[in-house]
Chains A and B, each alone.
Chain A
Amino acid sequence: MNVSSKICAVIDYGMGNLHSAHGALQAVAPETQVIVTGDPHIIRQADHVVLPGVGAIRDCMAEIIRQEVDEVVREVMRTKPLLGICIGMQAMMDRSEENGGVDCMGLFPGQVKFFGNDLEENGERLKVPHMGWNTVGQLGHPLWKGIPDQSRFYFVHSYYVQAENPNHVKGLGHYGVDFAAAVGEDNVFAVQFHPEKSHNAGLALLKNFLHWDGAA
C-alpha cells in the first residue's frame, strides 16, 4: 500500500501573498503536503491543485500566460481536482471588463463584470468593493458538505462573475445584483470568496476540497 502523503499544489505565478491559502490548507489537512509552487512538474504531480489570485486581472492574466500557467491548468482540469479562488475564479472565465477588458482562460463560458459605482439596493447605496461577509446560496455540490446553506464567507471584489451556463453556478451570491459566488463542472470548482479567510465555513470547504476525488 502506498502510504506517501498527498500533495496539494498552490500555484504561485508571482501575484503576491499565498501564505494564507497555504496556511489554511495545511491547517485542515496536516497529512497533506501543501506546496506553493510555480513549477509545472510539481503541479502535474500534485493530487489537488489550487489557483489563487489577488490584485488586478490584467497583471494576473499576463503572468498566467507568461509563465504558461494556463497550459498547466488546462491539463490539470482534465485530470484532478482544481480549486480557483477569487481572481483565480475570474481568470477561468472568458473575459473580464477590468482594466479596459482582458481575455481570460475561457474554462467556463461567461463574463466578469464591474459592480459599478452606482450600485444600490432598496434605495441604499452599496459600496464597491463588495468587502466583507456575505451569504452564499448553495447549489448541490460535494464541496458544500457539512456547511449550512446561506453560511457567510469573506468577499473582497469589485468585479463579479456572470456564468453563461446556469448549470455551472454552484453558489449564488447577491450584492445589488445576483452573481456566481461559486462555479463548477466535473473536477473544477471555483469560488469568488476567500475560503482561507472565511473562518470555520471556509476551512470546512477547503477540507472538503482536499478530500474530494473530483466527482461532481
Chain B
Amino acid sequence: MALAKRIIPCLDVDQGRVVKGVNFVGIRDAGDPVEIAKRYNDQGADEITFLDITASHEERDTTVHMVEAIAEQVFIPLTVGGGIRELADIRKMLNAGADKVSINSAAVYNPEFVREASQKFGAQCIVVAIDAKQVGDNHWEIFTHGGRKPTGINAVEWAVKMAEYGAGEILLTSMDRDGVKSGFDLGVTKAISAAVNIPVIASGGVGNLDHLVDGVKLGGADAVLAASIFHFGEYTVQQAKEHMAAAGIEMRL
C-alpha cells in the first residue's frame, strides 16, 4: 500500500455557474456547482478544483459564497484558482472553506507573491498553476491570458523556481491540449515532474480514461485533473479510478 494517485475533477466557474470552454472559447453551461461538487464527492473524487473565470472583481464574491456552500457539504480538499492576486484574495478563499488556492498569472508578474503567500499561509495551500505551450523540441513556454500571451519563460525552469519559492504543488496545464481531448502533453508533464520535488497535477487534454493512466504512468504525474469527461456524464469518477487501478496504479477506491 502506498500513497494513492489522485483524480481531481475541475469545475470552471463563471459567476457561480460551472462552465467548460473548449480551447477557452465556446463555453457550454454544465450546471450548478454545489450539485456537481456533491456528485463528484459521492463518486469518490480525491479533491475538487474550481477555476474562477469570472471577469470582474466584484462579481467574484459570488464565487466566495459558492465555496462556502460547497465546503459545508463536501468533505474532501477544495482548491480555488482564478483571480488570486493578493494575500487578501487567498485569505478570503481560505476563510470561505477552500483548502488551497491556485496562483497563475500573479506568480508570473510577481514571483515574490508566491513566496509571501507560502510563508503566510503555508506551502500546503499554495498551488502554482502553469499554463504551458510547446514552442520547440523539448521546449515549453509559459503563456498567460488564457494561452494568448507568451512570456518567454521556460516552463520547466519556472516550475523549479516556483517550488523554490514555496509552492506546495504544481498544476500544469498544456494549452495546446486544453479542451481538445487528445490526452495530456506527456513531454512537459514528465519534464516538470522529474525536475521538482513537489506533487504535479497534470491537466489539459483528457478525452478518455487511458489518458489518465498515461498521465501517471508515462507523465509521472501525482494527480490528474479533468473536467468535461466528467461533466457531461461520459464517465464517472469511480469508473476512472477503477480503470486506473486496473492499470496497476495505486488508487483510493
Q: Name A's B-contacting residues (CB within 8 A).
A: 16-17, 19-20, 23-24, 27, 54-56, 117, 121, 125-135, 150, 152, 154-158, 174-175, 194, 196-199, 202-203
Contact = CB atoms under 8 A, between A and B. Distances in A.
Given A54-B124, A129-B124, A152-B4, A196 B222 contact: no
5 closest A-B pairs by CB: A55-B122, A133-B252, A135-B1, A156-B124, A17-B94
B46 interface: yes
Chain B interface main SS type: loop
A203 B73 CA distance: 12
Contacts of B4: 132-134, 152
9 contacts: A16-B94, A23-B97, A127-B197, A132-B5, A133-B252, A134-B1, A152-B4, A155-B3, A202-B75
Interface of B: 1-6, 41, 44, 46, 68, 71-73, 75-77, 94-99, 121-125, 168-169, 196-199, 222-223, 252
A24 B78 CA distance: 14
Contacts of A150: 1
A133 B99 contact: no
B17 to A, nearest CB: 23
A15 to B, nearest CB: 9
A129 B75 contact: no
Contacts, number: 102
Given A54-B122, A55-B121, A152-B252, A132 B97 contact: no
Nearest to A126: B3
A157 B72 CA distance: 24
B99 A197 contact: yes
A149 B224 CA distance: 27
A132 B122 contact: no
Contacts of B77: 154, 156, 194, 197
Contact of B223 (A126, A132, A155): A132
